[in-house]
Amino acid sequence: MARGIFHPDTPLMITVTQITDCIFLSLFWLLGCFPVVTAGTSFAALYDAVYHGFRKGNKNSWQRFAHTFRGNWKAGIAPTAVFLAVSAVLGKVLIGLWNSAVAGNISWMLFSGGAFVGILILGILSLLFPVLSRFENSFAGLLKNTVFLAMANLPRTAALGLLNAVTVLLCIRYVFPLFFLPALTALISTMFIEPMFKPYMPEEDAA
């Protein structure tokens, strides 16, 4: 009886494995972000490992993370610099708008408009590294294709930006979500991102 319960293919063990993978992939992502210049590559590796491990049911998601990280760390340096620069400016602007709205210097309507634009920009940034993980592009091609996909799928881009904004706020406020939320957010992100990729990956879909 006990052997049956703890068989790798039982629902219990599959659930335990997925929870473990979620925690370890989040920790791998965090370690990959420590050098800063490889933060984007870590995002790309996390998305790829989560998509193939959770959505496709492939095993060895940790090895998948390492493989994608090694294969993209050089290509991810320039996009990471763009990501960090835009994120820093965006955060500063939004904090300034919030403080001005609280002080009564601007209307909350104006803040809401700025926040919406910020969420769209964050959605574009959140799409950058999944594109890196899935397609081969030059740096300029990566930026162009990411913006094109985002603009062609604005509702999904906005949802992606909102999802990541909530994730960032939770991790900053409580810290402990860093141990599982990055991988969980990447998994939810696949629901918005994969439909964007589908028209450009007919061979994989057919397979």
Domain presence at residue 11: yes
Domain presence at residue 32: yes
Per-residue model confidence as pLDDT tens digits over 12-47: 666 777 888 899 999 999 999 998 999 999 999 999
DSSP states of the chain: -HHHHTSTTSHHHHHHHHHHHHHHHHHHHHHHHTTSTTHHHHHHHHHHHHIIIIIS--S-HHHHHHHHHHHHTTTTHHHHHHHHHHHHHHHHHHHHHHHHHHHTSS-HHHHHHHHHHHHHHHHHHHHHHHHHHHS---HHHHHHHHHHHHHHTHHHHHHHHHHHHHHHHHHHHHSGGGGTHHHHHHHHHHHHHHHHHGGG-HHHHH-
Q: Is a pLDDT exceeding 50 seen at residue 206?
A: no
pLDDT of residue 88: 94
Q: How many folded domains does the chain comprise?
A: 1
Domain presence at residue 34: yes
Domain presence at residue 109: yes
Domain presence at residue 10: yes
Between 61 and 150, name the one with better pLDDT.
150
Structural domain including 78 reads 2-197
pLDDT of residue 18: 83
pLDDT of residue 17: 78
pTM: 0.89
Q: Is a pLDDT exceeding 60 seen at residue 157?
A: yes
Domain presence at residue 203: no
